[in-house]
Structure 1
Amino acid sequence: MPFNAFLRTVLLFCLLLSSGLALAQVSETEIRTIFPKLTRIGDSLENPSVVPVYQLDQLLGYVFETNDLTNLPGFSGERINLLIGLDASGKIVKIKILNHHEPIFMHGLGEQPMVEFIRQYEGLTVDKRVIVDSRHSGQDQDGSATVYIDGVTKATVSVLVMNDTVLSAALQVARAYLEGFERPPTVTVREDVFQPYSWQQLQSSALLRHWTVSADQLQQGFPLALEDYQDPELRQALTESDLPGRYYYAYLNTPVTGKNILGEQEFERLLSVLRPGEHALLVASVGEYGFLEPEFRRGTVPSRLGMSQNGLPVDIRDLDFFDNTQPQLPADAPDFEELRVFRIKAQSGFDPSQPMHLTLDLDLPRNHLIRDQAQFEDSYQLPAELFDITVTEEVKPLPLWQRLWLDRWVQITGLVLTLLVVTATFIWQHRLSAHSRLFHRVRWGVMLFTLGFIGIYAQGQLSVVNIYTLLLQLVKGFDIEVFLLDPVLFVLWTYVFITLFLWGRGVFCGWLCPFGVLQEIAAKVGGLLKLKQVKIPPAMHQKLQKLKYLLLLVLLGSAFWSVSLAERLAELEPFKTAITLTFIRSWPFVVYALLLLVTGMFIHKFFCRYLCPLGAGLAVLGRFSLFRWLHRRAECGSPCQLCKVRCEIDSINRDGSVDYDECIQCMECIVILNNDDQCAIALSQNKQKAKAVRAQDAIPVQQV
C-alpha cells in the first residue's frame, strides 16, 4: 500500500472511531438527563433530524445533535457537536458537549469555560437575539428580546462558532416543528412606485414614522420618580422638554422613501452598500435624549434601541452610512441630534411588508448598586402597495468567517501596517542599517508592537498546531474557510509563506514571533544585569541545532496518529502559555515557559535555536528562498571574525558566510558592515588611510 494511502486509511479510521464514540454517548440515559420527566421517546424524525420526547401523550420537546443540522467548522477544522434539548415552547432546556477538537479548551483553558459558556443558553428561547458581549452580560431584564452572554477570553473564534451552531440548529428545529416560529413570507420592493414627497408628506402618507415618548410615559415604566435616577442625560432632557423622546424612523429600501429622504445619489450608494437580501432603517432623534446609549460605538449593535417582528427579534447594526458625508435630508426635516442608518441582515427573516416594532430599552441607575429597567415600544407598517409578495430562494446567512473579518478590522489593519513596515525594512535594509540608532529604534518598535498588539491583543502567535491543521486538511480535502476563521493568523501565515521564498525564516523568527520577542527582552534583561553568558561549544551547538528538526518530525508524525496526542505534544511550544493565555495557567506550564525565558537570559534565544519545531519547519521551506541579502565583504571570515563573535544566534560561520537555516535576520551584522565606526575592516582601512595622509604631510617640501 502506498504511504499516502496508508495515512489516509489511518486518519479515516481515527475519524470514524471518534464519530462512533460521540454517537454512542447519545443514549436514553443521556436524553433523560435533559428531560427527566419523560416517559417515552418517540421515533426519530427527519428534515430536520430530531428525537421527540413525551410525558405520557404530552410532547415535552425535541433532542437533536447539531452535527445533523449544521456544518460550521470550529477553529480546529472539525465541527463542535452538541446535544441540545428544546422544549415545546421553543426554550433551550439543556446543552451537552458530545465531541470537539478546539485546542484552546482541550489543552489550554480546559473544558470548564466551554461548559460554562454553553450553560448560558439554558432557559433562553429561540426568539431571543443573543449577542456574545461580556461588557453587557447580565444587564437584560426578563422578557427582553436581546440577551447578552459572556464570551471566553482567548477563545473568540470557538465561542462564536458555538453561538452560531446553537442558534442555527435550534431555530431550524423550532421553525420545522413548533408553532409561532415559521419563516415569514419573502417580499420584493416595487421599483416603479415613486412620487416626490417632502418630509411632512412622507410622515402624513405613513411612509415615515414619528414616535414620541412623553415624560409621563417614561414615568409609568419606572417605580421611582425620574428625577431620583442618577442619569444626567435624562435629567437634561426633562429640563428642556416634556417630550424627552422624539424619534423618527423609516424603511429606506423603497424608492419612495429612500430617494425622498436621502436623495437619488445617496439612495443609489445605499443600495450598493447593502448586500443581497439586506434592509436599511433610518432612525433619528430630536432633543437631548437620544436612542443611542452614551457608550455606543459606530458600526456596532445598539443596546438601547431594538427591533422585533412577529414576536421574534430582528438584529440591527449601525451601517455607519454617514461616516464621510453629511446627510442631505429634505428641506423641511427637523434638526436632528442623532441620525443613524441601521443594517438588517438577510438571515434575520425580516419582512418589510409586515408590522415592525421599534423598542427603546432604558436602564436607569438608582445608585451604583441598583438599576431599574423599562421597555417602550412603537409599531409601524408600510403601505402594502410598496411591495410584491414573491416566493424566492432563501438567502444564506453571511458566513462566520466573513463576520469575523469585519469584526476584527482593527487587528487586521494593525497587522497589515506592521507587515508593510517589515517589508520596507527588508527591501531597504542596507540604507536603513547605515543609520544604526534609527535601525534599532525601528526593530525594537516592530518587536514590541508584535508582542503587545499582534501577539497578546490580536492573538497572532503562529504555532506548529497550525501546520497540523493544514496537513490534515490536505489529507481530508482542503477547505480554506477553516483557515479564514482567524483573519490575523491567515494574513500572517500568508505573509510568512511568501517571505519564506524571498528572505527565509528570519522574517518571522526575528521580527514577527511574539515569543521570540519575549526571548529578546529576556536576553536584554540578562545583559543589563551583567549575567555571564554561556557559550555553547561549536560541536555541541551543531548537534543541538538538529534537535528541533527531530522534534518537528515527531510532532508531525503524531498528528496523523492522533490529533489529541499531537496537540498535547505541541505543549513543547510555550506559546500558548506565554502569549495566548499570558501565563494564566496551571503551574507546570508556567514554570516551563519561565524556565525557557530565564535560560534565554544566559543563552541567547535558547528555545529558538535548539527546540522550536515551528522554526525548524520554516527553516526547511526557507532553504528555497530566492535572495541572500546579508552582504559580506571579501575580508569577512578571513581575517575578520567580528560579525561571528557579535552574532548572538551563532549563525555566521568561520569563513564569514551566513547560515540562513539558523539566521533570524536581526541584521546586526549588516549594521556593523554599513557603519564605518563599527566595521573592523572599515576601521582598519580608515586607520591606514589616515596614517598614509599623516606620512604624506610629514614629507618636507623641497626648495626650488
Structure 2
Amino acid sequence: MPRAPVAAARSFCRCIAAGAALLLAALALPAGAGDLDKADLARRFQPPLHVGDKLSDIPAWPITSELEPEAGPVAYAFESIDLAPIPGFEGTPMNLLVSIDRKGNFMDVALIRQHEPVFLSGLGEGPLRDFLAQYANKSLKQEITVSSLYGNTRSGAGGNRVVLDGVSKATASVRIVNQTVLSSALAVARARLGFAAPADKGPLAEVRSDVFEKRSFAELLASGAIGRLHLSNGELEKRFAGSEGAGVDAEALARPDDTCIDLYVAYLNAPTIGRAILGDAGHADLMRRLEPGQHAWWVASAGRDAFIDDGFTRGTVPARLAFSQGGAPVELRDLDLSPLPPDGAPPLNAALVLRVPPMSGVDPASPLRFELSFTRAKGSMLPVLTQRSAHLDYQAPEALFHRPAAPLPDWLLAWQDRATELAIITVALLLLSLVLARPRWMSVSAGRLKLFRLGFLAFTLAYLGWHAQGQLSIVQITGAVKSLAAGAGLKSFLYDPVSLLLIGFTLLSFVLWGRGTFCGWLCPFGALQEFTALLARALRVPELKFPARLGDLLDRGRFVILAALVALAAVAPGWAEKGVEIEPFKTAITVGFDRSAPFVAYAVGLLILGGLYYKFFCRYLCPLGAAMVLGGKLRVLDWLPRRKECGQPCQTCRHRCTYDAIEKSGAIRYDRCFQCLDCVGIYHDDKRCAPIMLMRKRELKGQAGTTSGPAHDR
C-alpha cells in the first residue's frame, strides 16, 4: 500500500533537519593550510642543499645546492594540501611533503598527516609510507598509475608507464594518494619547470618513426610539409601604412613587387621531412640530441631580409621570431646546429634548427603559429620605433603521426580493474531486488527462504565484505558531508566503485523498501552477527531478550551515538576519528581481525553479545544503522502484507520476529525491520498463518455440514 510521498518526505525531514543543520554548519571548515615552515624544511634538507624562502606565486620552497651556486633552484619542495587538497575516504585531505628536481623527477614523497581510517589504526601508517617510497626517482614525464590488487597487478606496465604497487584493503585510499601527489607536483612543474598545462584534446600526437617517403624539397613544399610565408616589399609597406614607419624603406618603395622575405618552416622529427632537410646522418644526429617529448623545426629565410639579425648569438632565442600554439607562447631556442641547404631549396640567407623545451606540451600534429616581427626606425638622434608582424600558420601532415588513446583517469581505472567484482555484485543486487519485489514464492517455504537467506548472507560476508571490501561505514557519511561543506565535491567516492555501487543501491532501496534492505541483507558485519547467533543456537546457548521498555530505551542508543559523532566531527575532528571506532567494521571486515588486541577483543565481544542478544550491535549501537533509519523515512510503500486479523487477535508473526519489529497491533515498524521475510512467508503459508488456518477450518466445517445434511433427512 503506497504511502503519501509528501508525508514520507516531511517525516524524513523532521527526523534529520536538526542533525543535518548542525553537521553542515559545523563541518563547513577549510581544508587547512600547510603544516610546515622554512625551519621545518631546513631540518629535512641537509647540506649541500639549502631551503630558500617560500615563493610568492606558488606555495613551494626552492632548494639550492652549494655544488651549483650559480644554477638557481635545483629542486622544489611543497606540501600537497596547498596545491591539491583532495578529500580522502574520511572527507579530509591528507598532507604530503613532495620534492621534485628541476627535471621533474621525484626526490621524495613524505607523509606529514593523514586521516584515512584504514591507515589510522587498521593497517597502520607503515604500508602507506612504503607506498610513498615508490615515487623516488620516478618522473613526472611518465604515466604513473596504481596497480589493482584485484586483478593483474602489472597490467599495462612498460614503456613510459609506471605502475606502483598498491596496498591491499586500501586500494581507494592509495589511488587518492596518487592523484594528490601527481596533481600537486604537476602544479609546481607547470609554474616553475616549463611543463605545459594539460591538453584539452587528449594525448599529444606521436611521430610515426616507421613512416618514411623520399620527397624532394618542391614536393614537401607543395604538400604543406614545408610551410612558407611570402612577403613582398609592397605587402610589408602596407603593414606600416599610417604609422611612423611608413615610407622609411626606400628599397621597398622603389621595388614593391620584389620579395622582402620568404620564411620556411618544417617539422624535423618526422623522418619524411627531417631526412629530406638534414640528410640521413643529420636527422639521426638531431634525434640523438633531443630528449623524449622534445620537438625541433627547421626555420630558414630567403630574400633581402632574414629572420635573424647579424648580431644573433647561437644557442639563444631568435628575437624576431615568436612561436605559439592555441594562443599559448612557447620558447623556441637554437640547437646550435649548422644545417646545409637542402637539395632543391632556393638560395637561403639564414637557417636554424630550433627546439622547444622537453614536456612543453606542444602537439606537433596540431596547428602552430610562427610570427615574424619587423621594426622600422624614423629619425637618427631619438628614433621612433614602429613594429609590425606577419605570421605563418603551419601544420605538419597528419599522416606522419598517430594519436594514442587517451589514458583513463585514475578513478576510471579503479572501475575497470574491478569490473568482474562489480558485475558479480550487480547480479546479486538484481537477484535481491527480484526477491524483495516478489517475495511470495521465496518466502512461503520456510526451508527455501532459510537456504536462500543464509546463502546470500554468506556471499555478503565472504565476497562483498572480506574480498571486495564493500563494508559501508558511518565514516562515508561524515566524509561526504565534510567534502560537500568544504566545496570539494564527492569525486573521492569514485575511487571506491564497490562502495559507490552499494551506496547507490541503498539510496534507491530507501524509497522502495526502507532501511532494512542494507541492514538485513548487505551489511557484512550484520551477516557475521547472524552467523554468530546461529552458532550460539547450535551450541544451545539460550537467546536472551531485554524487557520491552528497556529494549525501547536501548534502541535510541544508536541515535545518541550518531549525534555524538556528528558533534565530535564538528568541534573535535581528531576525537571523531577515534569515536568512529565504535564500529567494529574495520577490525572484523576491512582487516579481517588483523589488528591489535584491544580492537579484536572489542569486535569479538560484540559478536558474543550478538550471540546472546540477537544482533545486539545493529539494534542498539550502530550509528550507520541510525542513519539508515533516517534514510528509510523516504519509503513510499507499505510493502509487507498485513491482514485485518494481524494483531487482532493473531500474534504469530510478532512472537516469531527476532527483531521486535512488529507491534501488538500487528503493524510493521519499518525502522526496526531487517526484511528477513519471515512474516511474509507466514502470511502466505496455510500451515503457519493462523487466520488462513482458521478460515480453512471453517471451510472444512461448512463442507462437512453440507455433506451430512441430506443423509440426516433420509
TM-score range, shorter chain: 0.5 to 0.7
| Counterpart AA for 1:481 | K
Q: CA deviation at 1:566?
A: 1.6
- Which residue is equivalent to 1:163? 178
Q: Measure the CA separation in 2 of the matches of 1:4 and 1:655.
A: 33
- Which residue is equivalent to 1:475? 485
Correspondent of 2:475 among 443, 458, 465:
465
Task: Please state whether the residue corresponding to 2:96 is helix, strand or coil.
Answer: strand
| Counterpart AA for 2:563 | L
Q: CA deviation at 1:649?
A: 0.8
- Which residue is equivalent to 2:132? 118
Q: CA deviation at 1:495?
A: 2.2
Q: Measure the CA separation in 2 of the matches of 1:617 and 1:424.
A: 25
Q: Is the 8 A contact 2:471 2:590 kept in 1?
A: yes
- Which residue is equivalent to 1:150? 165
Q: Is the 8 A contact 2:202 2:406 kept in 1?
A: no
Q: Measure the CA separation in 2 of the matches of 1:43 and 1:310.
A: 31
- Which residue is equivalent to 2:501? 491
Q: Measure the CA separation in 2 of the matches of 1:68 and 1:672.
A: 61
- Which residue is equivalent to 1:236? none
Q: Measure the CA separation in 1 of the matches of 2:651 and 2:623.
A: 30
Correspondent of 1:649 among 659, 664, 670:
659
1:149-548 residue pairs with structure 2 within 5 A?
149-171=164-186, 173-174=188-189, 177=192, 206=212, 310-311=291-292, 385-386=397-398, 399-477=409-487, 479-548=489-558
Q: Is the 8 A contact 1:75 1:485 kept in 2?
A: no
Task: Please state whether the residue corresponding to 1:501 is helix, strand or coil.
Answer: helix
Return closer, same or farther for 1:154/1:406 CA change in 2, 3 Å cut-off. same
Return closer, same or farther for 1:522/1:678 CA change in 2, 3 Å cut-off. same
Task: Please state whether the residue corresponding to 2:480 is helix, strand or coil.
Answer: helix
Judge which range, 168-177 or 458-467, deviates more.
Answer: 168-177
- Which residue is equivalent to 1:53? 64
Q: Measure the CA separation in 1 of the matches of 2:712 and 2:50.
A: 125
Q: CA deviation at 1:518?
A: 1.0
Q: Does 1:101 align with 2:115?
A: yes
Q: Is the 8 A contact 1:134 1:148 kept in 2?
A: no
| CA deviation map 1:50-86 (0-9, x unaligned) | 4232226155422122234435433233333221222
Q: CA deviation at 1:619?
A: 1.4
Correspondent of 1:66 among 80, 88, 113:
80
Return closer, same or farther for 1:175/1:396 CA change in 2, 3 Å cut-off. farther
| Counterpart AA for 1:41 | G
Task: Please state whether the residue corresponding to 1:461 is helix, strand or coil.
Answer: coil
Return closer, same or farther for 1:530/1:90 CA change in 2, 3 Å cut-off. same
Return closer, same or farther for 1:468/1:176 CA change in 2, 3 Å cut-off. closer
- Which residue is equivalent to 1:225? none
Return closer, same or farther for 1:165/1:387 CA change in 2, 3 Å cut-off. farther
- Which residue is equivalent to 2:567? 557
Return closer, same or farther for 1:603/1:9 CA change in 2, 3 Å cut-off. closer
- Which residue is equivalent to 2:44? 33
Q: Is the 8 A contact 2:97 2:109 kept in 1?
A: yes
Task: Please state whether the residue corresponding to 2:512 is helix, strand or coil.
Answer: coil
| Counterpart AA for 1:119 | A
Return closer, same or farther for 1:424/1:184 CA change in 2, 3 Å cut-off. closer
Q: Measure the CA separation in 2 of the matches of 1:206 and 1:9.
A: 65
Q: CA deviation at 1:579?
A: 1.4
TM-score computed with the length of structure 1 as normaliser: 0.65
- Which residue is equivalent to 2:684? 674
Task: Please state whether the residue corresponding to 1:601 is helix, strand or coil.
Answer: helix
Q: CA deviation at 1:105?
A: 1.6
Q: Is the 8 A contact 1:188 1:387 kept in 2?
A: no
Q: Measure the CA separation in 2 of the matches of 1:491 and 1:184.
A: 30
Q: Does 1:585 align with 2:592?
A: no
Q: Measure the CA separation in 1 of the matches of 2:83 and 2:210.
A: 47
Q: CA deviation at 1:102?
A: 1.9
Return closer, same or farther for 1:206/1:674 CA change in 2, 3 Å cut-off. farther
Q: CA deviation at 1:517?
A: 0.9
Return closer, same or farther for 1:39/1:551 CA change in 2, 3 Å cut-off. closer
Q: Measure the CA separation in 2 of the matches of 1:564 and 1:431.
A: 50
Return closer, same or farther for 1:186/1:511 CA change in 2, 3 Å cut-off. closer
Judge which range, 539-548 or 414-423, deviates more.
Answer: 414-423
Q: CA deviation at 1:648?
A: 0.7
**Stretches of structure 1 lacking an aligned partner (at least 5 in a row):** 192-201, 208-308, 314-346, 355-382
**Stretches of structure 2 lacking an aligned partner (at least 5 in a row):** 1-17, 214-289, 295-358, 367-394
Q: Is the 8 A contact 1:145 1:312 kept in 2?
A: no
Q: Measure the CA separation in 2 of the matches of 1:668 and 1:689.
A: 26
Q: CA deviation at 1:605?
A: 0.9
Return closer, same or farther for 1:106/1:640 CA change in 2, 3 Å cut-off. same
| Counterpart AA for 1:93 | M
Q: Measure the CA separation in 2 of the matches of 1:6 and 1:623.
A: 20
Q: CA deviation at 1:664?
A: 1.1
Return closer, same or farther for 1:597/1:155 CA change in 2, 3 Å cut-off. same
Q: CA deviation at 1:505?
A: 0.9
Correspondent of 2:627 among 601, 614, 617:
617
Q: Measure the CA separation in 1 of the matches of 2:417 and 2:202.
A: 29
1:601-612 residue pairs with structure 2 within 5 A?
601-612=611-622
| CA deviation map 1:100-127 (0-9, x unaligned) | 3322222422222211211122233444
- Which residue is equivalent to 2:369? none
| CA deviation map 1:116-159 (0-9, x unaligned) | 21112223344455443387989999x98554432111111121
For the aligned residue pairs, the C-alpha RMSD in angstroms reads 4.2
Q: Measure the CA separation in 1 of the matches of 2:406 and 2:362.
A: 14
Bigger radius of gyration among the two: 2
Return closer, same or farther for 1:26/1:116 CA change in 2, 3 Å cut-off. farther
| CA deviation map 1:549-601 (0-9, x unaligned) | 21121112222113332221111111111111111111111111111112212
| Counterpart AA for 2:78 | F
Q: Measure the CA separation in 2 of the matches of 1:616 and 1:93.
A: 47
Q: Is the 8 A contact 2:148 2:166 kept in 1?
A: yes
Task: Please state whether the residue corresponding to 2:49 is helix, strand or coil.
Answer: coil
Q: Measure the CA separation in 1 of the matches of 2:84 and 2:708.
A: 91
Q: Measure the CA separation in 2 of the matches of 1:645 and 1:55.
A: 83
Q: Measure the CA separation in 2 of the matches of 1:628 and 1:479.
A: 34
Return closer, same or farther for 1:65/1:472 CA change in 2, 3 Å cut-off. closer
Q: Is the 8 A contact 1:186 1:351 kept in 2?
A: no
- Which residue is equivalent to 2:352? none
Q: CA deviation at 1:433?
A: 2.3
Q: Measure the CA separation in 2 of the matches of 1:406 and 1:27.
A: 42
Task: Please state whether the residue corresponding to 1:484 is helix, strand or coil.
Answer: helix
- Which residue is equivalent to 1:44? 55
Q: Measure the CA separation in 1 of the matches of 2:577 and 2:168.
A: 20
Q: CA deviation at 1:671?
A: 0.6
Q: Measure the CA separation in 2 of the matches of 1:538 and 1:638.
A: 20
TM-score computed with the length of structure 2 as normaliser: 0.64
| Counterpart AA for 1:604 | Y
